[in-house]
């Protein structure tokens, strides 16, 4: 199986060898805290060896439910927010990139809901489903998050009106805590098929649990390939030596840059299929590191599109950022080749016979060189291909590097106390008479 690789040559002008030497023992100590499960938030390390201790009975149940969803419905509505949907959406768009979300060849269409409070969106979504048969996967670990809980109220009613109580029960799948929360109670009371989010796996680390796996299996993504990739990454990134382990090299490089005032990391991609992966990554790093007045701010950009909007700032603006570039090495199936024209009126015949993938990668190379020259350190993560195996590696790579990064910063990467502040105010306002 081809594996992802981290190229740090674009950071060499910015990080001196002695700085690497100095940080190495700190990174190795952070990695040890993680491996020995004695750092902050150690109760939430269930994701660490998840790829090699998957419950095969639970996997079979997920596959069976996915099969049932496909046979019952043309549409699946996945309801969840934050870590309860971003991994599934990222994987879906990575593995099954489509124009405007519509799959081809009659495959199950997957929509996401409960990711915000827009009434217009819900109305449009209900309209888009129209008369088609649909099922719902409601995902919430706490079972009490307002956005998904409200969206579920609408869809539950819609299902009950359309299929009756018993019919709705057949089409609702709940993914939640083993024993706590309103959603668990509701699922038990109504008899919905329920899947467990393990106690020791937090939302943003949960993509390889039923949270991500059920929607992905329903959409026809091969789970064995995704999980096989993650298992490979688990083995590959166990080495405690910072020079041998790309998760540790990544954590070290971004921490060294942070210490030099590069407080913003921009995850750059050149393919739209990576858009939601960047959203998932932003949540993972933002919620894990941004606390106690510390943390890199995770941002993202989609090139070459954003070179025509953010490009000026990135090249020339305040020098407080660095980029991590996702580079897909192998072209798509059926890569498009630029045709020659007789008149060459647009002057593009110099590109005739070249694939768009090749041109895109030259854009990547040229942009990296320009940005490094403009004093923006560039890390490059090379993805050998855009396959589920590689995605499984990537998920695990970022999760492990994130945990080590959090420990390097001296924060608990597994809590999110700051998220409560808005909720408290919102509830106070909503409960006002
Ligand atoms: O990573 C996290 O813990 C959060 O982003 C949660 O996933 C998010 O807030 C949704 O929470 P819940 O699954 O409890 O509805």
Summarize pLDDT for 290-317 with one digit per residue, the tens. 999 999 999 999 999 999 999 999 999 9
HSE value, Cβ hemisphere, 13 Å, CA-based, for 415? 13
Residues known to be catalytic: 287, 308, 423
Q: Whose CA is nearest to atom 2 of ligand 1?
A: 203
State how far the Cα of 120 lies from the Cα of 237, in Å rounded to an integer.
44
Task: Check residue 338 and give its pLDDT.
Answer: 96
Q: Any idea what DSSP says for residue 55?
A: -
Distance 308 CA to ligand 1 centre (A): 34
Distances (CA, A) of 363 to 269, 303, 324, 355, 359: 11, 9, 15, 13, 6
DSSP code at position 379:
E
The atom number, within ligand 1, closest to the CA of 149 reads 15
User: What's the gap in Å between 368 CA and the centre of ligand 1?
Assistant: 35
Q: Which atom of ligand 1 is nearest to the CA of 205?
A: 1
Q: What is the mean pLDDT of each run of 10 residues along the chain (433 residues)?
A: 95 97 97 96 97 93 97 97 98 84 77 97 97 98 95 98 97 96 96 97 97 97 97 95 94 98 98 96 98 97 97 97 96 83 98 95 97 98 96 98 98 92 90 85
Distances (CA, A) of 291 to 8, 251, 294, 403: 27, 17, 5, 14
Which ligand 1 atom sits nearest the alpha carbon of residue 83?
A: 7
Give the pLDDT of residue 243: 87
CA of 84 to the centre of ligand 1 (A): 6
Which residue lies with its CA nearest to atom 5 of ligand 1?
Answer: 82
Find the 81 Cα to ligand 1 centroid distance in Å: 6
**Residue whose CA lies nearest to ligand 1 atom number 9:** 82
Q: Measured from the CA of 202, which atom of ligand 1 is nearest?
A: 3
Q: Give tens-digit pLDDT for 74-89.
A: 999 999 999 999 999 9
Shortest-distance Cα residue to atom 3 of ligand 1: 203
Q: What is the pLDDT of residue 433?
A: 81
Q: Which of 44, 79, 84 to mutate to test the pocket of ligand 1 (most atoms within 8 A of CB)?
A: 84
Q: Which residues have C-beta within 8 Å of that of residue 315, sequence separation ≥ 6?
A: 370, 371, 374, 376
Ligand 1 pocket residues where CB is under 6 Å: 81-84, 140-142, 145, 148, 202-204, 287, 416
Q: What is the pTM of this model?
A: 0.96
């Amino acid at each position: 199986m081809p594996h992802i690789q981290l190229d740090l040559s674009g950071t060499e002008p910015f990080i001196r060898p002695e700085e690497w030497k100095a940080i190495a023992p700190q990174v190795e100590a952070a990695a040890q805290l993680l491996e020995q499960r004695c750092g902050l938030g150690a109760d939430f390390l269930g994701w660490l060896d998840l790829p090699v201790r998957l419950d095969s009975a639970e996997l079979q149940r997920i596959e069976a439910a996915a099969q049932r969803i496909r046979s019952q419905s043309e549409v699946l509505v996945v309801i969840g927010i934050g870590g309860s949907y971003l991994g599934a959406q990222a994987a879906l768009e990575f593995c099954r990139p489509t124009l405007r979300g519509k799959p081809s060849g009659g495959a199950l269409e997957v929509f996401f809901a409960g990711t915000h409070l827009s009434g217009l969106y819900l109305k449009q979504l209900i309209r888009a489903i129209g008369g088609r048969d649909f099922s719902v996967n409601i995902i919430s670990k706490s079972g009490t998050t307002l956005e998904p809980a409200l969206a579920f109220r609408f869809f539950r009613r819609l299902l009950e009106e359309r299929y009756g109580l018993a019919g709705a029960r057949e089409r609702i799948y709940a993914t939640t805590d083993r024993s706590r929360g309103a959603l668990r109670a509701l699922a038990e009371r109504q008899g919905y098929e329920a899947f467990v989010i393990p106690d020791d796996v937090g939302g943003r680390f949960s993509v390889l649990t039923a949270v991500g796996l059920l929607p992905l299996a329903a959409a026809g993504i091969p789970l064995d390939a995704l999980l096989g990739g993650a298992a490979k990454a688990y083995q590959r990134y166990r080495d405690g030596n910072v020079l041998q382990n790309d998760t540790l090299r990544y954590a070290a490089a971004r921490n060294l840059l942070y210490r030099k005032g590069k407080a913003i990391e921009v995850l750059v991609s050149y393919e739209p299929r990576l858009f939601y992966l960047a959203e998932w990554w932003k949540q993972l790093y933002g919620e894990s590191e941004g606390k106690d007045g510390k943390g890199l701010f995770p941002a993202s950009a989609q090139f070459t599109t954003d070179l025509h909007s953010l490009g000026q700032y990135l090249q020339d603006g305040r020098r407080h950022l660095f980029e991590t570039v996702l580079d897909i090495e192998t072209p798509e199936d059926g890569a498009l080749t630029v045709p020659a024209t007789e008149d060459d009126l647009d002057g593009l015949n110099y590109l005739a016979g070249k694939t768009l993938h090749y041109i895109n990668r030259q854009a990547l190379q040229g942009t990296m060189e320009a940005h490094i020259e403009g004093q923006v350190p560039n890390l490059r993560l090379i993805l050998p291909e855009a396959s589920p195996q590689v995605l499984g590696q990537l998920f695990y790579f970022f999760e492990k590097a994130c945990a080590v990064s959090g420990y390097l910063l001296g924060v608990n990467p597994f809590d999110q106390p700051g998220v409560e502040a808005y909720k408290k105010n919102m509830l106070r306002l909503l409960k006002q008479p």
